[in-house]
Amino acid sequence: MLKFDIEKKSGLARVGIIHTPHGDIKTPAFVGAATRATVKALTMEQMRELGSQAILGNTYHLILAPGADLIKKAGGLAEFSSWHGPTFTDSGGFQIFSLPDVKITENGAKFKSHINGDKFEMTPESSMRDQWAIGADIHMAFDHLAKSEKREDMEIAMHRTHAWLDRCVAEHQHIKASERHLEQYLYAVVQGGTFNDLRAKSAEYCASKDVDGFGIGGVFTADGMDEMLKTVNSILPENKPRHLLGMGQEPRDLFIGAEYGCDTFDCVGPTRMARNGSLYTLDGRINIKNAKFKEDFTPIMSECDCDCCKNYTRAYLHHLFKTDEITAKILASIHNEHFVVSTVDKIRKSLLNDTFEEYKNTFLSRYYHN
RNA sequence: GCUGGAAUCGUCUAGUGGCAAUGACAAGAGACUGUAAAUCUCUCGCCUUCGGGCUUCGUAGGUUCGAGUCCUACUUCCAGCA
């Protein structure tokens, strides 16, 4: 069983520590999205320096390249990437939702590789095997996301996710029994879309399984997220960690997530937006490519202590983006990733100090001022 | 000086008589939430009650129902010859 200590509780919110074989994660924590075993534009050294505690790779992308077995040969995701710290893998289930030409059956999902068109099938069992080979500390169950917001589609996806969860747990236990020298853990994934009764059903189902924690999937908007998380996290057992899958581009989501009992987050938004020139500040996001920053010799964010803000100006970043220099994306990614990581760190501190409510209100009213 | 050739939106460019006129870049703005994203979208002569109106292809004239496209002169640039 994955060790998870809760230091402090406040309503549904909690402060804790997840003890993984590769080190501890002080929660709540933002996990960097390292889809293809790299956080785009950043080195692992830079990730450590900006305060990241864990990264999350994607099984779908990693089996296409370089292959799960190769990562196993390299000693696992943490060693292969030189991250050395705690790691998660997403199951690849999300790709069912995001890729076109996907055939979903009870057995699994048939894809065509977007790289060379090779036919390829992922099942709960294959996802588990691949995740064990990739060797992240924490694996996500292979789940199914509905293609639409319609209740009947959500229901079908949820039931399929549950059926697949049983197979994931069985396969996980099976591999665990034969790989006794390895310690790897499984999270079940809660589905149910925007329907709280379905979410409750899904949470109950997941809670009843022999898993180490939970992912909350299929969340795409903050609207109604508080109620949904309240429902789900009131049902999920308190002593196991919960990961809010894919949310965190909007700081609001991190506050809501933490307040309603989520322990970890991952999101591609911060680094993707960084690459596209959209940078976080306490007063909201700015597009550094805008002409108004041409002669702005202040840092992106004066209250920020990241390497970008400590050393470079908006005018310089503007110049790097306008001239399409690769350094633009690096510095911007350092800043944005640091912004979300440190924001969640501050949420953690505020929960410990009992100043969460104040921090949240101050932060959000300023960030979403306009 | 002579003989050819060329002048189109910030730049390069399409365009050889028929509705401001192609494409790229640049520029301006927007989007992005378990990453087929170093991506994508929109604007880019002026005005607009969004139907349209007005002014544009070096300058000035001309031919024509109609000219960026044809003719003449001029200006500038390029190449060759002196």
Domain extents for chain A?
3-267, 279-370
Give yes or no for CB of A290 within 7 Å of strand B.
Answer: yes
Decide: A277 and A256 in contact? Cβ < 8 Å: no
Decide: A42 and A271 in contact? Cβ < 8 Å: yes
**Residue A334: per-residue pLDDT:** 98
**Residue A338: per-residue pLDDT:** 98
The residues of A assigned a catalytic role are: 90, 266
Task: Estimate in Å the CA A291 to C1' B21 gap, whole number.
Answer: 30
**Residue A83: per-residue pLDDT:** 98
| Angle (deg, nearest 10), helices A356-367 and A326-353 | 150
Q: What's the whole-model pTM score? A: 0.95
Give yes or no for CB of A337 within 7 Å of strand B.
Answer: no
Report the CATH number of the A3-267 domain.
Answer: 3.20.20.105
Place of tokens 């990614």: A333
Neighbours of A85 (CB within 10 A): 19
Least Cα distance to A257 among A348, A170, A193, A177 occurs for A348
Question: Alpha helices, DSSP H only, in A36-150?
Answer: 44-49, 59-64, 68-73, 77-80, 93-98, 124-134
**Residue A214: per-residue pLDDT:** 98
pLDDT average per 10 residues of sequence, chain A (370 residues): 97 98 98 98 98 97 95 98 98 80 88 79 96 98 90 94 98 96 96 96 98 96 93 98 97 98 98 98 97 97 97 98 97 98 98 98 93
| Angle (deg, nearest 10), helices A251-259 and A326-353 | 30
How many whole angstroms separate alpha carbon A216 and alpha carbon A168?
Answer: 16
A328: phi then psi, degrees, rounded to nearest 5: -55, -50
**Residue A49: per-residue pLDDT:** 98
How many whole angstroms separate alpha carbon A225 and alpha carbon A252?
Answer: 10
Largest CA distance in chain A: 62
Give yes or no for CB of A276 within 7 Å of strand B.
Answer: yes
pLDDT digits (tens, 9 = 90+) for A177-211: 999 999 999 999 999 999 999 999 999 999 999 99
